[in-house]
């Protein structure tokens, strides 16, 4: 395989991440970067459906929480090794994604979006009523003592999330650049025309929703060990749902790197605001940035940059 810039960057990012765990001691940095990476995975996953096929998922928090609570249940029942549990959690929310994909057969546009919101709320009600999962009061999760080759458990979680983020981004990039991506874009632009041009629309939508589900579940799977206390309010947090929409919208939904840019920008702004001002205000920032970008720059940062480039080019030529 040809080594292109993308794969070189992947290696660089992973090596830098690992070096980061060896060189930095202050745990705060790992907490902060972990949150940014978690947002990045959610944003990239959301965009695989929302940006590529145009189906809006309002229920991101439901997928995330399914991943998180699968871990809580597995950990409580069997106490399996972390990677095994993470894979099971990802598989389960992938299956939920598959189910949501079948919903898209009947429900388009707004109805699909509301149905996803409904699914998240139904899941939340189930968890609220499940004694085993801690119900509305929440439950504690104990971090394992040993942290593999890392100094402490947070570094391990950070590195694991970095890996998930890299894989999610690579998958998203592959989907958008391949023949599949062209089919997905055709579905987004006009589903009927796509089908008549030979695009197996249902199959592509199922691939898209399942991939989205898997990565959202993976993002949520590490959450219980990260916070060590999970309750429905934090696992089904509206902030998770809003962030996973806001980050792609701010970065730009049309290309695979849009949500990555959006997640990094918004994530860093949020983490900075949380530290320097207050965590409530950072919620406000997300809302205002989301509304600001969709009303004034609907193609996101990527769109703004492209416009800027086009303008520069126009000036140079003229």
Site residues (vs another protein, CB under 8 A): 50, 54, 56, 58, 103, 106-111, 113-115, 117-119, 121-122, 125-126, 128-129, 136, 179, 182-183, 185-186, 188-190, 192-202, 238, 242, 245-246, 249, 254, 280-281, 283-284, 286-288, 290-291, 294-296, 298
Q: How far apart are CA 161 and CA 148, in angstroms?
A: 15
Of 7, 159, 32, 181, the residue nearest 83 (C-alpha): 159
Q: Count CB neighbours of 268 within 10 A.
A: 14
Query: Minimal distance in Å, beta carbon 114 to another protein?
Result: 5
Query: In terms of CB distance, is 17 or 51 closer to another protein?
Result: 51
Query: In terms of CB distance, is 225 or 236 closer to another protein?
Result: 236
Structure tokens at 230: 């999970």
Query: In terms of CB distance, is 146 or 280 closer to another protein?
Result: 280
Query: Minimal distance in Å, beta carbon 118 to another protein?
Result: 4
Query: Minimal distance in Å, beta carbon 262 to another protein?
Result: 12
| In contact, 138 and 230? CB cutoff 8 Å | yes
Rounded to 5 degrees, what are φ and ψ at 230?
-115, 130
Query: Minimal distance in Å, beta carbon 264 to another protein?
Result: 20
Of 15, 70, 76, the residue nearest 218 (C-alpha): 70
Structure tokens at 305: 């940059």
Q: How far apart are CA 118 and CA 58, in angstroms?
A: 9
Query: Minimal distance in Å, beta carbon 112 to another protein?
Result: 8
Query: In terms of CB distance, is 82 or 206 closer to another protein?
Result: 206
Phi-psi label, residue 228: left if phi above 0, alpha if psi -120 to 50, beta otherwise: left
| In contact, 59 and 119? CB cutoff 8 Å | yes
Query: Minimal distance in Å, beta carbon 211 to another protein?
Result: 19
Query: In terms of CB distance, is 10 or 118 closer to another protein?
Result: 118
Query: In terms of CB distance, is 87 or 180 closer to another protein?
Result: 180
| In contact, 173 and 6? CB cutoff 8 Å | yes
């Amino acid at each position: 395989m040809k080594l292109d810039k993308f794969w070189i960057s992947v290696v660089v990012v992973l090596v830098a991440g690992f070096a980061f765990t060896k060189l930095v001691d202050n745990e705060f940095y790992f907490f902060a970067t972990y949150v940014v990476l978690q947002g990045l995975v959610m944003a990239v996953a959301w965009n695989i459906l929302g940006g590529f096929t145009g189906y809006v998922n309002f229920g991101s928090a439901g997928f995330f929480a399914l991943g998180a609570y699968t871990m809580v249940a597995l950990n409580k029942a069997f106490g399996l090794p972390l990677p095994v549990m993470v894979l099971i959690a990802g598989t389960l929310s992938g299956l939920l994604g598959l189910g949501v994909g079948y919903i898209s057969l009947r429900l388009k546009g707004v109805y699909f979006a509301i149905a996803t919101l409904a699914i998240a709320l139904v899941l939340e009600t189930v968890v609220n009523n499940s004694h085993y999962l801690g119900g509305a009061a929440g439950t504690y999760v104990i971090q394992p003592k040993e942290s593999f080759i890392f100094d402490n458990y947070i570094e391990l979680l950070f590195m694991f999330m970095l890996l998930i983020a890299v894989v999610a981004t690579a998958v998203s990039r592959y989907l958008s650049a391949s023949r599949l991506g062209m089919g997905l874009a055709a579905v987004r632009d006009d589903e009927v025309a796509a089908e008549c041009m030979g695009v197996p629309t249902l199959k592509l939508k199922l691939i898209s929703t399942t991939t989205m589900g898997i990565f959202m579940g993976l993002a949520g799977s590490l959450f219980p060990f990260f916070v060590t206390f999970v309750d429905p309010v934090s696992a089904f947090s509206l902030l998770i749902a809003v962030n996973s929409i806001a980050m792609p919208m701010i970065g730009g939904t049309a290309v695979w790197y849009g949500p990555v840019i959006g997640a990094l920008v918004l994530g860093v702004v949020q983490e900075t605001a949380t530290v320097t001002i207050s965590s409530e205000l950072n919620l406000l920032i997300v809302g205002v940035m989301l509304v600001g970008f969709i009303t004034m720059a609907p193609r996101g940062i990527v769109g703004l940059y492209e416009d800027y480039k086009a303008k520069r080019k126009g000036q140079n030529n003229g």
